[in-house]
Structure 1
Amino acid sequence: MQLEPYISDLLYRYECVTVPEFGSFLTRRVSATIHETTNAFYPPKKVVSFNEQIKENDGLLARYIADVEKIPYEEACHKISKRVKYLKSYLVQGETIAFENIGSVSLNNEGNMLFEPSYNFNYLTDAFGLSQFTSSKVTRETHKETVQAIEKVIPIAITHNRRQSRGYLKYAAIGIIALSIGGFAASNYYVNQIETHNQLAQEEANTQLESRIQEATFVINNPLPAVTLNVKKQSGNYHIIAGAFRLEENSDKKVNQLKDLGYAARNIGSNKYGLHQVVYSSYENRLEALQALREVKKTHNKDAWLLVQAPKD
């Protein structure tokens, strides 16, 4: 059994994944870095390390394998132990064991485990989708040497006449104050003009509106003939039930569907179970209701039934 897929899955969520009687794979978060020479930007990641001193079974790996493979916990522990014995036998023979996407383990001359992590995989979920990229070097002092050479040949001297400078500053301050006062006055004048215009426009609009209302009220040149609409009001205690719905919005949809089919459908409220009842139509006469029910059962819904409500006082 290969342990690498299960270890990799757990490294995304845990900082320590222990392989019993073998060692533990540890993760440590590292911030984003920039390589000074290559100008390469590396996203934040989890660096994987290995500690052969932590080998006591904490149950994490075995429980995960048992859950994924749907096997008992004891069987998962047995499979791990069998795999560890196989890995150790390879290490004793001087072989290097490669854990895919994790790193490689080998033995040194003293018999201690050496771990070389894999750098092409990132177990930090916060950095998902981020990859390494290289940026061109930014130079901000390209012309510095040229300027220094010019200054050596042609010295640049800046002299100040304090008296003239003070005079210029005085006139400049006076000019700024004058501009500020003028701008403030112009701004106030502009605002007043806008308010006056808005007031006049509002008065004119009110006058036109009043004249139009008077004309529409009292000057009727071509009066239209009156139209009378006869709307049949749904009433009666005999209801042909189309369905009962827990949600009122579903009952409204049913009413619209039945109306599209030509029925005088409507919602008659909730029953004692809290269900919203939809009827095909309602009748005051029992015989008419029964005749309509037979027609509905025959042409549209065989489950329709007749509800008789007690007359209200």
Structure 2
Amino acid sequence: MQLETYISDLLYRYECVTVPNFGAFLSQRVPATVHESTNAFYPPKKQLSFNEQIQTNDGLLANYIADAEKIPFEAATLKISKRVKSLKSSLIEGETLSLQNIGDLKLNSEGKIEFNPSYHLNYLTDAFGLSQLVSPAVTREVYKEEAETIEKVIPLTITPEKRKTKSYFKYAAIALIALTIGGFGASKHYADSVATHNQIAQEEANNQLENKIQEATFVISNPLPAATLNVSKQSGNYHIVAGAFRVEENCDKKVAQLKQEGFKARKIGVNKYGLHQVAYASFNDRNEALRELNSIRNNNNDAAWLLVKDLN
């Protein structure tokens, strides 16, 4: 059984996929980043990690395998157990386990499992269609000033004779007008040149960005089965399932019975098989839900299981 295929499928939708008696693969969203030295743009993604301490069977992986392979829940749990024994044996022998599209696992000197995530797939569906790209830095030229000093642009020569007739005022006025017009023309030419250059650089950057856009790197080889739930507003995404009933009247009787026993029971909608599901309670905190599930299995119903689903 290719256990990593099922884990990979579930990581697209869930933040935690637990392998019973082995550990849990966790995902955390990280924002888009830019590498300053290489000008590489990286889209937002889910960063994977592994927690060896989370080993309680929450039913998520086993239920998915049972549904995908059309086998009972107990048979799926047994297949997972056999695969886990094989994985642990390989780790003890010093092997490095390579889980496709997930990462590598190995034991360190202290006997703890080290995890090196794979970056071949982006499990963040919000980033669908985005891939890494590299854009060259935009260069900008600095133009030299074209205006020079008054002496270099319009040299003035005033002789004593011209001073007597005061005609030098006329030349001075002409020189001042010429300087003003020349300075305005040079300033406008410089501003137009800078604006044109920046527009060309921006267009080049946009063209390079469009050329770098590639097809999505998301590959879901075994997509999750679709489910349509028509339920009222719920609180919490972790639901301890007590049972499912074909007749809604029996579902209502089960809810009433569980409420008499002290549970915050309620109906949580109809699954894809047309069965009305009943939950002992719903929780916002995953650890709290797992503790309550263990208590219910030990004291009330050993067939209870945990459904992780946003019902809003």
Pair member with larger Rg: 1
Q: How does the TM-score come out when normalised to structure 1?
A: 0.46
